[in-house]
Amino acid sequence: GENVEQHPSTLSVQEGDSAVIKCTYSDSASNYFPWYKQELGKRPQLIIDIRSNVGEKKDQRIAVTLNKTAKHFSLHITETQPEDSAVYFCAASISPLNKLIFGAGTRLAVHP
């Protein structure tokens, strides 16, 4: 069935380092890949997304890359800051069911 695998489940970095979270998906028809950030006790919020017609997208310190052939996409955070500490969820669209399947999440801790 439809599946999105996300790694690692936890990630600990020093402030200023880079962080990379990777996801793989199973549905070759998936064409939309968002990333949501959930800070402790708060609701998930969209931070960046990418569609299948591009390979990379950047927004300040965050970037997402997509490899459709290998069916995986990654979130890159550079110059991490303590406020980046949160759980990050990747997701992939499932066609033609018109829904998103989420990964299990990555808990990122940025230490000062």
Partner 1 sequence: KAGVTQTPRYLIKTRGQQVTLSCSPISGHRSVSWYQQTPGQGLQFLFEYFSETQRNKGNFPGRFSGRQFSNSRSEMNVSTLELGDSALYLCASSRTGGSDEKLFFGSGTQLSVL
- Residues in contact with partner 1 by CB under 8 A are 1, 6, 9, 31-32, 34, 36, 42-46, 49, 51, 89, 91, 93-95, 97-105
Our CA angle for 35, 83, 41, nearest 5°, is 70
Cβ closest to partner 1, residue 67 vs residue 104: 104
Q: Please report, in angstroms and rounded to a whole number, the separation of the first and last CA atoms in the chain.
A: 41
Q: Least distance (Å) from partner 1 to the CB of residue 64?
A: 14
Q: Least distance (Å) from partner 1 to the CB of residue 48?
A: 11
Q: Least distance (Å) from partner 1 to the CB of residue 104?
A: 4
Cβ closest to partner 1, residue 9 vs residue 81: 9
Nearest to 77 by CA among 22, 14, 18, 16: 18
Distances (CA, A) of 38 to 5, 41, 96, 105: 18, 8, 27, 9
Cβ closest to partner 1, residue 19 vs residue 47: 47
